[in-house]
Amino acid sequence: MLSTTERTRLGRAKHKARTDRAELYDLLDAGLVCHLGVVANGAPMVVPTGYGRIDDTLYLHGSTGARSLRVPGEVCVTVTLLDGIVMARSTFHHSVNHRSAMIYGTPRVVTDEDERMAGLRALTEQLAPGQWDVARRPNAKEMAATRVLALSLEEASVKVRTGPPADDEEDYTLPVWAGVLPVRQVFGKPEPDPALAPGLEAPDHVAHRPDPA
C-alpha cells in the first residue's frame, strides 16, 4: 500500500486516488520522462529528465555541475501519462484522462560505484530497453562528471482519471458533442545517424520496440 501523508492525501476528487503500490510501479515503468522540482537560490525550478526504477528507489542523473542536482533538501518528482482529452458540453467540465504520480523526499547522492552503475543501467533501460547490453559503458572520466541521485518511493501518491465527461445535469440536452479523444504515444521508424557505419541496421529492440502502454 502507498503511504498516506499530508502531502500525498488528495484534498479534492478523492475517488481518483490509488493506494496500491503496484499501480505506482506500473505507472513509473510505463513513463519515459519525469519532472524534478527543487528550490534553487530561493526560487522554484522544475527540470524534465530521465529516470529509472529499481524496486522502491527512483534514480535520477545529470552533470555534476547541474544546479538541480546540487541543491540539497527535499524535492518533488512527478510523472504524468496522458490517456485522453475529455471534452464536455461545458468548458468548465473539460478535463484529461491521465495517470499521474507525485513523489516527495530528500534524495541521496549515490557514492557506491556498484549502485551508481546499477542506477545508470536502470536509467538507460527505462528510455531504451536492451541498449545497455550493446552500447559502450561509461568510462571513468564520464562517471566522474555524472551525479546519480537515489530517491525513495516511500512517500508517493497516484492519481488516475478515466471515463467520459461529468457534465451538469441541465447541460446533457445541449446540442454539443461530448466524449473522449484518446491519446496514444507511438514509436516511429528508427532514423539512423548519418555517421553510422555502412551495413549497420537497427537492432530488434529498437526497430520492433512495442509502443508504450
CATH number of the CATH domain containing 64? 2.30.110.10
> How much of the chain, in percent, has pLDDT values that exceed 70?
99
pTM listed for this prediction: 0.93
Q: Tell me the C-alpha distance between 48 and 196, whole Å.
A: 29
Backbone angles phi, psi at 144, to 5 degrees: -65, -25
Asked, for residue 196, whether it belongs to a domain, the answer is: yes
Q: Is the pLDDT of residue 73 over 90?
A: no
Specify the number of domains making up the chain: 1
Cβ neighbours around 33 below 10 Å, total = 12
Mind listing the pLDDT tens digit for each residue in 170-206? Answer: 999 999 999 999 999 999 999 999 999 999 999 999 9
Asked, for residue 1, whether it belongs to a domain, the answer is: no
Asked, for residue 26, whether it belongs to a domain, the answer is: yes
Asked, for residue 64, whether it belongs to a domain, the answer is: yes
Amino acid identity at 13:
A
Residue 140 structural domain:
14-205
Please tell me the total number of residues recorded for the chain in this structure: 213
Asked, for residue 76, whether it belongs to a domain, the answer is: yes
Asked, for residue 211, whether it belongs to a domain, the answer is: no
Asked, for residue 131, whether it belongs to a domain, the answer is: yes
Q: Tell me the C-alpha distance between 93 and 16, whole Å.
A: 16
Nearest to 62, CA basis, from 49, 53, 52, 73: 49
User: Where does the pLDDT of residue 72 fall: very low under 50, low under 70, confident under 90, or very high at 90 and above?
Assistant: low
Mind listing the pLDDT tens digit for each residue in 5-58? Answer: 988 888 777 788 888 999 999 999 999 999 999 998 889 999 999 999 999 999
Asked, for residue 137, whether it belongs to a domain, the answer is: yes
